[in-house]
Structure 1
Amino acid sequence: MGTEDEDGFSEDREGPVREVCVDAFAIDAHAVTNARFAEFVDATGYRTEAEKFGWTYVFARFVPGELRKTSPRPQQTPWWCGVSGAYWRAPEGPGSSVEQRWDHPAVHVSWHDAVAYCRWAGRRLPTEVEWEYAARGGLDQARYPWGDELIPGGEHRCNIWQGKFPVRNTEEDGYAGTAPVDAFEPNGFGLYNVSGNVWEWCADWFDPARSGRSMRGGSYLCHDSYCNRYRVAARTANTPDSSSGNLGFRTAADVSPR
């Protein structure tokens, strides 16, 4: 696992390339959907951290004009708005819904929220080693789950940003925001959207010296001009109580030897 790709981020400790051992495990073919997350919430009454905090981050272009004007923005990442009342069931804030997006990944889900879901489902979050092994789909050191070329033969294989970030998205891949969890072709192991669409939480701490939990896969906002972390070996982190409109998860489980 890992990479020494010149396009990688050494500060993210993507490398060096090294051999690892992993026990047998199961992993979801795709991210947890809004429909499945709703089953969890309906069964348990669970309230996400975004609901408890009263706000979460939404990509500014998706926020209605008046609400955009009154929503605070981080100085370093002004394309995000801190939107009051946004959460997984109202992903762009009050008045929005997932009614037409039940097969899209549940977003605005923190690491703690994902762990709570896993307990209910009898699952767990994948480790980074498991995630990367599964995402590679049997390929050895390929940059993406399907090979080394981002758009082979002009065919888009993942949901990322096209155009000039953050001002213009040509949506050549067919999506401005999230896509259905089974959009595009799966990799060699049958996994969908391990590149792009939404970031996915992993079980691990990103770095022993930092407080963030690891995230993998990139999202629909990733662009090679600033964040080409839709590569299989790429990684980043966030605090475990963080949530945003491009952050979801898939689950894993141990497999007992026969």
Structure 2
Amino acid sequence: MSSCCPPGRSGSETAPVPRLTGTEAGGLLALPGGVFRMGTDDPDGFPGDREGPVREVTVEPFAIAAHCVTNAQFAAFADETGYRTDAEKFGWTYVFAKFVPAVLRKGSPRPEQAPWWCGVSGAYWRSPEGPGSAVEGRGDHPVVHVSWQDAMAYCEWAGQRLPTEAEWEYAARGGLDQARYPWGDELTPGGEHRCNIWQGRFPVRNTEDDGYVGTAPVDAFPPNGFGLHNVAGNVWEWCADQFDEAGGQRSMRGGSYLCHESYCNRYRVAARTANTPDSSTGNLGFRVAANLQ
């Protein structure tokens, strides 16, 4: 199965929990936790990703960011600490081919199973499309080209942590029980786009019907019932967990601006995938969480 997932280096009923749409804890949204139905048996899902079975999971009260960490937030961390990301240490990272200038695209290595990615030398979070690009004017966009290890370093600096998969899915559901998306079961209710994903024919043509060809501002679309923005599409989000018992890979949630219903509908709430902890791409970021005192 083809996938938009980042390549590595190596029915909607209201759940019986209260909604806290504006409560904050240390700048994060405080959520009450409780029992919810995690996973899916959706026939359009990916059994190989172990999205199911649907099971009851208990989540303790916790806090989570309303949106992904932005370029501006990550810049504050990097400027204060001098931190160098894995992409900077390796000297390259993966960029969507159509965003790469022809002079850089020529000769750039491409994964056999996902040739729409280019391994671009000199690309990193401050130059997300490679040398000559910059994040000026995109301070409110999610930081990308960050590995799981980079996300963990940011969390340590900020006194926060990554959410577990159970916390992420509970928060992303926004109080809805077994809905396909954070807002319900319809992708575009009333013809309205609710997330930043690919429209058109991937990877040839993006009609940009949702208003974006690459990343969107972290609060570009209305929040879900718990106040979280963009938990579907925009960028994949690292979670704390190992993907499976074998270890070695970390879980990612939410899908990205490169997901398309024809081959990779992983912008569903229950969808999941994984990557190695040192991997980074132009559609991979993170959001932070914290324990409640």
Q: Distance in 1 between matches of 2:210 and 2:183?
A: 16
Q: Which amino acid aligns with 1:100?
A: G
Q: Superposed, which structure 2 residues align to 1:160-199 within 5 Å?
A: 160-199=197-236
Hey, what does 2:14 align to over in structure 1?
none
Normalized per residue, the structure richer in strand is: 2
Deviations along 1:83-118, one digit per CA (max 9) or x if unpaired, are 000000000000000001000000000000000000
> What is the DSSP-based 3-state SS (H/G/I as helix, E as strand, rest coil) of the residue aligned with 2:277?
coil
> What is the DSSP-based 3-state SS (H/G/I as helix, E as strand, rest coil) of the residue aligned with 1:46?
coil
Establish whether residue 249 from structure 1 lines up as the match of residue 286 from structure 2: yes
Establish whether residue 213 from structure 1 lines up as the match of residue 226 from structure 2: no
Hey, what does 1:54 align to over in structure 2?
91
Identity of aligned residues (%): 81
Q: Superposed, which structure 2 residues align to 1:1-12 within 5 Å?
A: 1-12=38-49
Hey, what does 2:177 align to over in structure 1?
140
Hey, what does 2:161 align to over in structure 1?
124
How far the C-alpha of 1:210 sits from its partner, in A, is: 4.3
Establish whether residue 226 from structure 1 lines up as the match of residue 263 from structure 2: yes
Establish whether residue 33 from structure 1 lines up as the match of residue 70 from structure 2: yes
Hey, what does 1:158 align to over in structure 2?
195
Hey, what does 1:235 align to over in structure 2?
272
Q: Distance in 1 between matches of 2:100 and 2:206?
A: 16
Deviations along 1:176-225, one digit per CA (max 9) or x if unpaired, are 00000000110000000000000000000001124210000000000011
How far the C-alpha of 1:70 sits from its partner, in A, is: 2.2
* Unaligned residue ranges in structure 1 (runs of 5+): none
Deviations along 1:15-53, one digit per CA (max 9) or x if unpaired, are 000001111100000000000000000110000000000
The structure 1 segments of at least 4 consecutive aligned residues displaced by more than 2 Å after TM superposition are none
Q: Which amino acid aligns with 1:105?
A: P
Q: Distance in 1 between matches of 2:44 and 2:262?
A: 11
How far the C-alpha of 1:232 sits from its partner, in A, is: 0.2
Count of residues in correspondence between the two structures:
256
Q: Distance in 1 between matches of 2:107 and 2:84?
A: 25
Hey, what does 1:82 align to over in structure 2?
119
Establish whether residue 93 from structure 1 lines up as the match of residue 130 from structure 2: yes
How far the C-alpha of 1:229 sits from its partner, in A, is: 0.3
Hey, what does 1:149 align to over in structure 2?
186
Q: Which amino acid aligns with 1:59?
A: F
> What is the DSSP-based 3-state SS (H/G/I as helix, E as strand, rest coil) of the residue aligned with 2:59?
coil
Normalization by structure 2: what TM-score? 0.87
Deviations along 1:147-202, one digit per CA (max 9) or x if unpaired, are 00000000000000001110110000000000000001100000000000000000
Hey, what does 2:141 align to over in structure 1?
104
Q: Distance in 2 between matches of 1:50 and 1:225?
A: 30
The Cα RMSD (Å) is 0.5
> What is the DSSP-based 3-state SS (H/G/I as helix, E as strand, rest coil) of the residue aligned with 2:52?
coil
Normalization by structure 1: what TM-score? 0.98
Q: Distance in 1 between matches of 2:136 and 2:107?
A: 26
